[in-house]
A and B are shown apart, each in its own frame.
Chain A
Amino acid sequence: NAGVTQTPKFQVLKTGQSMTLQCAQDMNHEYMSWYRQDPGMGLRLIHYSVGAGITDQGEVPNGYNVSRSTTEDFPLRLLSAAPSQTSVYFCASSYGSDNTEAFFGQGTRLTVV
């Protein structure tokens, strides 16, 4: 099993550009989520999904969109990138929302200039 796969690993965007961060898992997990990690701070939840077709906002959803058309994929879209979105982004999945063992991807380091 590959686990949770994120692409790309690194990305530089100009202010105003849009892009999609990809996340895929092959463990048939129902619950998937996106976090951002900034220096000196813990991971903050952006959006999450409890199953295909269902998404909801986390702590810091502004500027991001998600969709969950399949169980495997949970892409994160930046609509109009801003320097404040410079961060490391992690995708995670677990069997259920109350399952404590979440599996994380390797992360995407995004820089917005």
Chain B
Amino acid sequence: GESVGLHLPTLSVQEGDNSIINCAYSNSASDYFIWYKQESGKGPQFIIDIRSNMDKRQGQRVTVLLNKTVKHLSLQIAATQPGDSAVYFCAEINGQNFVFGPGTRLSVLP
């Protein structure tokens, strides 16, 4: 069935380095793709979204890239900080609902 998934379950980066979290999706009809961050013991928190007719969108320290040719979505975090340690989920809007991937755990090393 249609699904959203992630290439790596865990990612460790040095503080100050850039992080890249990847996601593969299969539903090419989705209008929006979204990244959420979930810290331990908390609910997911919206980070950034990108519309399907865009290739790139930038926020504060974050950039989302969308490659529709290979159905790939990535989240880039610049100058990764300890507070960025969390699980990151990609999601797509399928009809009226979100479809979430399994998540990538980002660990920031001192």
Contacts and interface: CB of A to CB of B under 8 A. Distances in A.
Interface residues of A, number: 26
A101 B96 CA distance: 13
A50 B41 CA distance: 27
A48 B97 contact: yes
Contacts of B97: 33, 45, 48, 58, 97
A2 interface: no
Contacts, number: 60
Interface residues of B, number: 23
Contacts of A90: 43-44
Interface string A24-63: 0000000101010000111111001010000010100000
Nearest to B43: A104
A102 B46 CA distance: 7
A98 B30 CA distance: 11
Contacts of B49: 100-101
Nearest to B35: A100
Interface string A89-109: 010100001101111111100
A76 interface: no
A63 B108 CA distance: 39
Contacts of A104: 43-45
B43 A101 contact: no
A107 B38 CA distance: 11
Given A42-B4, A106-B42, A107-B43, A100 B93 contact: yes
Contacts of A43: 44, 89, 98, 100
Contacts of A21: none
17 contacts: A4-B43, A33-B97, A40-B9, A41-B102, A42-B4, A42-B89, A42-B91, A45-B98, A50-B96, A90-B44, A98-B96, A100-B34, A100-B46, A101-B49, A102-B98, A103-B46, A106-B43
Interface of B: 4, 9, 31-32, 34, 41-46, 49, 89, 91, 93, 96-103
The 5 closest A-B pairs by CB, nearest first: A104-B43, A42-B100, A97-B96, A100-B49, A101-B46
